[in-house]
Amino acid sequence: MHWSKTLIFLSCSTTLVCASSLAVYQDSSEYRFSPERHFIGFTSEGVHATCNGETIALEVTLACPKKERLCQERTRLRTTAQKREAVKATRRVLNTFVSLPKLSSVEAEKWIDAARRIGVEEAKLSSKEALLDKAYLLQSKAFQKQAPSQEARTLKYDCLGQVELTLPYGQILFSTYYEATLQKEKKIKVTHYLSVTNKSGIDIEADHAFFYYRQAHHTIYPVHFSPWIVHKSLPHPQKRYSKSLALSRVANNEQTIAPTPLYASKPPQAHYLSARAYTIDTLSLPSTGEKTDVPVTTWERGVECELRAYPYRSNRVFTVCSFSPKTEIVSHQWKVKKANMTLNEKAVGEYEEGLYRLYTQSDPEVKIVRKPLVKRERTSGIFGNTLRKRDGYTVTLSNTSNQTKEIRVIERIPTSTTDEIKVKLLSVKSEKKVHYTVSKEGKIEMHIRLKANETRKIEVRFEMAYDKALKIRY
């Protein structure tokens, strides 16, 4: 990093012209550019600036270039504030006139007419003030979304080389998401997007922009070997704490727990460097506080979609599409489309068994009801010390559509981690034969075919054997 900065400094100092760049990390951002003027933007106090590697101060200024977009925004905000104060001052003057002593020589009718006109004017001013209050509040929120401060900042002196601004975390953010389009012939088209937000108060123009899923400042300490020593075990005296001391320690522990655009030309195209690093050439990133979505990569893969149900967890049926990604999936938030129709804007996926499973949508045409069976127990064994407990449940699936549905139903029975408790599956029954498999972890997979408007009831029974002195829960 130090060597690259030295090269940049040498090249910029000799030519006085250097390409601008933006690097966004998980803890900060670095913006390098050749300034045309002293004005920087509406930044916060936490921004650090250097000129050719030397620290340069940023000063608050009252002057603001009229051509700058955020300067125009602030001017509109201040104009609204001035109008609001003018209305308030007018109301105060009007109230002062009303409070003056009334002259006895003035006729009563004239005072009544004057009071009527004053009342009308007061109502107009009150309404106007309320509208200006609302306008000022909306404009203030809009400006706060774009910049962390309403104070403009400039460089203290001219910089003939390149300025580097180090911005704290949160002023420039980026994330990734994926858009999947289900196509014919069992194909899926995946587009990886980079979503960038700038609310630093600086309108950024970068020839090259880099985005990293890592921190810029990450301390790694040296690791030294330490011997693993076995000690003679000695009983430790138990420490006794008073109730008040124990409560104070709990309170202290609780306190220490922290909770974890518009473009003037062609939109930019991001490039994929690795699963956690991206670059964009010629990026225009105004400080609007709005997300700018830039495509990174697009690829197609074969896909298999099926209906899945997990009755023990949910009464809904999901469409799950499985495929092998071309590149590593780093964000599991998806937008799913089919042709020109949006199926789901908040779909979620995950890696499973070497494939990527994308849960695209739920099927409202299939209803699921899961109910427990009546529990029965009996004892057996030579001395009657073994308790055999039988249990089970029923799963009812109803297809309310006029189409046949093929559903993979994933259910379960209890599983034991000790020899003291033994569990076995007794039966999986239905009016029609059920094709199923059961794993040693108690996972039952059933393949159910439901015709149009068909209802199917499946009964699962299992048995648990254990010493009657034991108490179990599941």
Three-state SS annotation for 70-113: HHHHHHHHHHHHHHHHHHHHHHHHHHHHHCCCCCCCCCHHHHHH
Phi, psi (rounded to 5 degrees) for 98: -65, -35
Residue 419 lies in a domain: yes
Which of 54-68, 91-105, 249-263 has the lowest average pLDDT? 249-263
The C-alpha atoms of residue 345 and residue 347 are separated, in whole angstroms, by 6
Instruction: Retrieve residue 314's tokens.
Output: 């949910």
| Amino acid identity at 213 | Y
Number of domains in the chain: 2
The domain boundary residue, chosen from 87, 118, 146: 146
pTM of the model: 0.69
The domain boundary residue, chosen from 123, 146, 169: 146
Tens of pLDDT, residue by residue over 142-179, are 999 999 999 999 999 888 889 999 999 999 999 989 99
Tens of pLDDT, residue by residue over 282-341, are 899 999 999 989 888 899 999 999 999 999 999 999 999 999 999 889 889 999 999 889
Residue 125 lies in a domain: yes
Alpha carbon of 256 to those of 27, 48, 187, 244: distances in Å? 22, 30, 50, 19
The C-alpha atoms of residue 317 and residue 370 are separated, in whole angstroms, by 13
Which of 44-53, 71-80, 194-203, 248-257 has the lowest average pLDDT? 248-257
Q: What is the pLDDT at residue 14?
A: 42
Q: What is the pLDDT at residue 1?
A: 41
Q: What is the pLDDT at residue 353?
A: 87
Which of 5-9, 87-91, 239-243, 397-401 has the lowest average pLDDT? 5-9
Between strands 304-309 and 317-323, the pairing is: antiparallel
Q: What is the pLDDT at residue 252?
A: 40
Please name which of 168, 176, 175 lies closest in space to residue 199, comparing C-alpha atoms: 168
DSSP state of 315: S
Residue 62 lies in a domain: no
Tens of pLDDT, residue by residue over 369-425, are 999 987 555 555 545 688 888 999 999 999 999 999 999 999 999 999 888 899 999
Q: What is the pLDDT at residue 232?
A: 64
Residue 421 lies in a domain: yes
The C-alpha atoms of residue 277 and residue 172 are separated, in whole angstroms, by 16
CB 32 within 8 A of CB 166: no
Confidence bin at 243 (pLDDT 50/70/90): very low
Q: What is the pLDDT at residue 455?
A: 96
More reliable by pLDDT, 294 or 274: 294
Q: What is the mean pLDDT of the chain?
A: 83
Q: What is the pLDDT at residue 330?
A: 87
pLDDT exceeds cutoff 50 at 6:
no
Facing residues of 461 across strands? 392, 427
Q: What is the pLDDT at residue 248?
A: 42
Residue 191 lies in a domain: no
Which of 1-10, 47-56, 183-192, 445-454 has the lowest average pLDDT? 1-10
Upper half-sphere CA count for residue 58 (Cβ side, 13 Å) = 21
Residue 92 lies in a domain: yes
* Mean local confidence (pLDDT), 260-274: 57
Q: What is the pLDDT at residue 255?
A: 36
From the number of C-beta atoms within 10 Å of its C-beta (0-12, 13-18, 19+), residue 211 rates as buried
CB 210 within 8 A of CB 23: yes
Q: What is the pLDDT at residue 256?
A: 33
Three-state DSSP class for residue 279? strand
Instruction: Retrieve residue 236's tokens.
Output: 């430790």
CB 311 within 8 A of CB 286: no
Q: What is the CATH number of the domain that holds 379?
A: 2.60.40
Tens of pLDDT, residue by residue over 111-144, are 667 777 777 888 888 888 899 999 999 999 999 9
What percentage of the chain exceeds 70 in pLDDT? 83
Residue 375 lies in a domain: yes
What percentage of the chain exceeds 90 in pLDDT? 53
Confidence bin at 348 (pLDDT 50/70/90): very high
Q: Which domain holds residue 462?
A: 366-467
The C-alpha atoms of residue 312 and residue 62 are separated, in whole angstroms, by 65
Residue 379 lies in a domain: yes
Alpha helices (H) in 108-263, listed in sequence order: 108-146, 243-256
pLDDT exceeds cutoff 80 at 105:
no
